[in-house]
Amino acid sequence: MALKGLDIFKLTPKTNCKDCGIPTCMAFAMKVAQGSIAIEVCPHMSAESLAVIGAAAAPPMRSLKIGAGGAHVLGGETVLFRHEKTFAAKTLYGVALKPETAAAALPEIMKVDYERISERMFVELLYVEYTGDRDAFLDLVQTAKDTGRALAVESHDAAAAKEAMEILKGLEPLLIGADAANYAAMDAVAKEYRVALGVSGRDLDELYDTVLELEKLGNKDLVLDVGHVSVKDAFAAAVQLRRAAVKDGDRSAGYPSFVNAGKLAPGDPELQLALASVFTLKYGSVIILEGMSYAQALPLYGLRQNIFTDPQKPMTVTPGIYPINGGGENAVCATTVDFALTYFIISGELERSGVPCNLLISDAGGYSVLTAWAAGKLSAQSLGKFFKEFAVEDKIKNRTLLIPGKVAVLKGEIEESLPGWRIVVAPNEAVSLVKYMKELEV
């Protein structure tokens, strides 16, 4: 976009700007282009210039917030592929509630709530659809509201949608149901309650035309339903919309997407899980399933965590003392690095052994064992620092410490750094830990 004539190009370069602290206005403009500083920092910009530059600098996909207090972010993506740049907002997973099964389903849904690598894994959304019975629909909306989770409500009846939004007033749910026939009425409801509006169409052309009509009405807080006629059509719509927004710069296609895997594969939880995995990669912002169990959550949330993290920054486990198999103050200790993959491999084998132990995770910069040792991140000094920082000797009476077999060379140095501790070199391969732990004399 040409910005000729805007205020920023009229400014005289300065040796030291008292307002932004950057030497020249050109340097300031470069930082704005890189996204490292907000254009609003410069007080010399007019409202017109701020509006034009702000629109040009905004991500090709609009960023939206849903849930009480804007708990969840959708959109804001700038690239097609994760290896180009970290994705901005993770896919949200929701579960559909039905009046006849909600009482039994909700307790199971709430059980899916655990932590993996410092991230909470839980069902972020509950989905309620209006199918004709208004009283049952509104009762279910109230039930879902009481859970404290964010909500996605689908209704193509504007009157029913308004009643639901009144129940959820102030909780910023996602309202789905605008189409070519009712978009004006649904737009009025969405604006009145200040919620994001989901748009659908019989095909991609109708969906796009409806978005254009809503944009004419001034509504740009939209989420695009990729449809549920067929998996092929839904996948094509998700990919084409993202490509049109990111590659072609079409901002009318640049909205978060909504995928109802429950409708794409009704009654087939395995296929729904597979579809959720596919649309996590390409490019579902919100994915709804008919149910959620630990068996489904573990692989799905693990995949999401791998996709929506910085590919250039390894996932790490928070340093600390991790009891395994009921390990306490009298249990043997083992140590390894904070690289998440290493942690899960080692902790898994230790759990399989059935022997109570304490796994000590020190800060190794996210490196693997040998890389951390080579970089000086895993050493006698780093372990000594960890022991002091976490008061290991005050918390654990046992004085046996297993170190990774691949850094056996550190044994002598660690013995000097930790007087009174018996340092034992563990096997080179994690798979050998089960037998080794069972035979270890402590």
Other beta carbons within 10 angstroms of residue 336's beta carbon come to 27
User: Closest Cα partner for 99 from 60, 70, 142, 64?
Assistant: 142
pLDDT at residue 56 in the model: 66
User: Closest Cα partner for 174 from 101, 260, 102?
Assistant: 260
Task: Please state the domain extents for the chain.
Answer: 10-57, 63-307, 320-439
Task: Please give the order of strands across the beta sheet that includes 357-361.
Answer: 320-324, 357-361, 332-336, 400-403, 422-425
Per 3-state DSSP, what percentage of the chain is helix, strand, and coil (rounded to 5)? Answer: 40, 20, 40
Residue 10 has pLDDT above 80, yes or no: no
At 217, the pLDDT band (50, 70, 90 cuts) reads very high
Other beta carbons within 10 angstroms of residue 211's beta carbon come to 23
At 4, the pLDDT band (50, 70, 90 cuts) reads very low
Residue 417 has pLDDT above 50, yes or no: yes
pLDDT at residue 283 in the model: 95
User: Closest Cα partner for 336 from 382, 291, 300?
Assistant: 382
**Beta pairing, strands 332-336 & 320-324:** unpaired
pLDDT at residue 23 in the model: 64
pLDDT at residue 58 in the model: 76
Omega within 30 of 0 (cis) for the link into 283: yes
CB 160 within 8 A of CB 130: yes
Residue 292 has pLDDT above 80, yes or no: yes
Residue 241 or residue 442, greater confidence: 241
> Which letter does DSSP use for residue 39 in this model?
G
CB 153 within 8 A of CB 173: yes
- The Cα–Cα gap between 61 and 75 comes to 6
What's domain 320-439's architecture? Answer: 3-Layer(aba) Sandwich (3.40)
Helix (H, G, I), strand (E, B) or coil at 172: coil
- The Cα–Cα gap between 386 and 390 comes to 6
Q: Average of pLDDT values for 210-223? A: 97
- The Cα–Cα gap between 318 and 272 comes to 33
CB 14 within 8 A of CB 27: no
pLDDT at residue 16 in the model: 57
What's domain 63-307's architecture? Answer: Alpha-Beta Barrel (3.20)
Residue 12 has pLDDT above 60, yes or no: no
At 116, the pLDDT band (50, 70, 90 cuts) reads confident
Residue 164 has pLDDT above 80, yes or no: yes
Q: Which H or E element spans position 125? A: strand 125-129
**Beta pairing, strands 196-199 & 125-129:** unpaired
The pTM (predicted TM-score) of the whole model is 0.79
Q: Which H or E element spans position 436? A: helix 433-439
**Percentage of residues in the chain with pLDDT exceeding 70?**
90
Q: Specify burial of residue 115 (Cβ count, 10 A radius: 0-12, 13-18, 19+).
A: exposed
CB 221 within 8 A of CB 196: yes
Could you confirm whether domain 10-57 is CATH 1.10.15.40? yes
Q: What is the CA angle 238-243-244, rounded to 5?
A: 100
Torsion angle (degrees, nearest 10) of CA 162, 166, 170, 174: -40
Average pLDDT, the chain: 90
At 26, the pLDDT band (50, 70, 90 cuts) reads low
Residues 175-207 have pLDDT tens digits of: 999 999 999 999 999 999 999 999 999 999 999
pLDDT at residue 13 in the model: 47
Q: What is the DSSP string of 258-311?
A: EEEHHHHSTT-HHHHHHHHHHHHHTT-SEEEES---HHHHHHHHHHHHHHTS-T
At 6, the pLDDT band (50, 70, 90 cuts) reads very low
Residue 35 has pLDDT above 70, yes or no: no
pLDDT at residue 314 in the model: 80
CA-to-CA dists, residue 247 to 63, 144, 205, 370, angstroms: 17, 38, 19, 41
- The Cα–Cα gap between 129 and 164 comes to 10
Residue 14 has pLDDT above 90, yes or no: no
pLDDT at residue 208 in the model: 97
- The Cα–Cα gap between 42 and 111 comes to 49
At 19, the pLDDT band (50, 70, 90 cuts) reads low
Residues 42-67 have pLDDT tens digits of: 777 777 766 666 666 678 999 999 99
Residues 268-284 have pLDDT tens digits of: 999 999 999 999 999 99
